[in-house]
Amino acid sequence: MTTAWIDGQPVSSGEAIREAAKLLSMSRLPLVTGRFDDISALREAARVAGFSGGVLDHSDLGRVAPLIEALRDNGIIRISPGEVRRRADRVLVVGADPFAGSEAVFEQIFAVDPDLGAKAKGGQREIVLLGPDEPGRFSEVKGHVRTVGCPADQLGDAIGVLRAGLGGKPFGDGPFEEGAARALAGWLKDAAFAAIVFDATELDAISIESVAGLVSDLNAETRASALPLTAGSVYGAAEGAIWVTGFPLRTAFGRGDPEHDMMLNDGAWLISSGESDARIMLSYDETALDVADVPTILLSTAEEPAGEGARVIFKIGRPGVDHPMVHHEPRFGSFVSTPAEHHGMATNAADILSAIADQLGKAHHSNDEARA
């Protein structure tokens, strides 16, 4: 079965790996991007970027860029869904529906009443939905639910007003009805354990920083934590990159050591501006390769990979289906190992990336020895 192509012609994997390494080594600034559902693929992608002096990015990183910026610059007191489930007697849910795409987390948290903590144990959970006018999916949960209407574009302002109310500072009602902000701030302050849940793709960096500040303020007199939610693999990849490079995505290796910059290392911008003149892209779906006038190495799970304009193509397996994977599991708020559903012959993307990195590494070390 053919698993590698160069210019549309079937070749051996070894030949394709050598061609991919050659293409990247000749590039001025290669881009290593795509989806990294499996952390092993991310780790090897970082090696490719490091040896080629390229940039490591995730194709969906723009969705969580505000969260990364806020956490990087200010930090936040976070909580796992399991802790919310067992400890939080009061939950403030910010936005229209932060659990869209995170249904398993929703079921995990709200299927039972809290059962840990002297004040929370045995009581009914109270839930306030800040944003929607109707309870939606919360209409059937265990606990008491009420809504506080707020336009989506004023959620950040609402959090700021709550902080002012909590701190006893002068404030206007903002997007709240008269008296509602003061009442909601008091409700949070009187919690045994408060949790603030929000969709990290819905808020901007300043609003997320406001949530972090509100949580810190609450911890002066009670216990409180935040639970940012993101669907898909992108946040896990950004967090996993810290283990590998010391920084979240996006990271460049053009000057040797990894350098993190969310704007300068934006893969889409590097391609459109012409600054990046080659790329290696990892795709775990059937999405057609976007048209870009740069030499491309494509790793694809499609049955017949046919990336238009791709110079080198590798057929790979699906993580967690064709081979084991380690990935970020939102229900645990951490990384877990998932075995393969079946033992197939499909190649792990990490193996392809590792082989390319090894090939680049040989040339890298040879150049170092020549300079010495």
pLDDT tens per residue across span 229-256:
988 889 889 989 998 999 999 999 999 8
Tokens of 324: 């084991």
CA distance 120 to 116: 6
Residue 286 has pLDDT above 70, yes or no: no
The SS3 assignment for 44 reads: helix
Outline where 53-138 has alpha helix (H): 65-74, 81-87, 103-110
Phi-psi region of 311 (alpha: psi -120 to 50; beta: other; left: phi over 0): alpha
Q: Find all residues with CB under 8 Å of 126, minimum gap 6, and list them.
A: 89, 90, 91, 143, 144, 187
CA distance 197 to 229: 7
CA distance 195 to 87: 9
User: Is 1 exposed, middle or buried, given 0-12, 13-18 or 19+ CB atoms closer than 10 A?
Assistant: exposed
Q: In whole angstroms, how far apart are CA 251 and each of 45, 235, 283, 345?
A: 11, 15, 20, 33
| Dihedral (Cα; 8, 12, 17, 18), 10-degree rounding | -100
The SS3 assignment for 56 reads: strand
CA distance 190 to 200: 26
Burial 210-220 (b: 16+ CB within 10 A, else e): bbbbbbbbbee
Tokens of 147: 């809504």
Instruction: Please compute the mean of the pLDDT values over residues 27-53 and round it to a whole number.
Output: 95
pLDDT tier at 287 (50, 70, 90 boundaries)? low
Q: What are phi and psi of 108, to 5 degrees?
A: -60, -45
pTM: 0.87
The amino acid that residue 157 corresponds to is D
Task: Dump pLDDT digits (tens) for 46-84.
Answer: 999 999 999 999 999 999 999 999 999 999 999 999 999
Residue matched to tokens 């960096």: 205
* CATH numbers and ranges of domains, the chain: 4-64+233-371 (3.40.50.740), 67-229 (3.40.228.10)
CA distance 15 to 313: 11
Residue 2 has pLDDT above 90, yes or no: no
Instruction: Please compute the mean of the pLDDT values over residues 142-168 and round it to a whole number.
Output: 92
Residue 288 has pLDDT above 60, yes or no: no
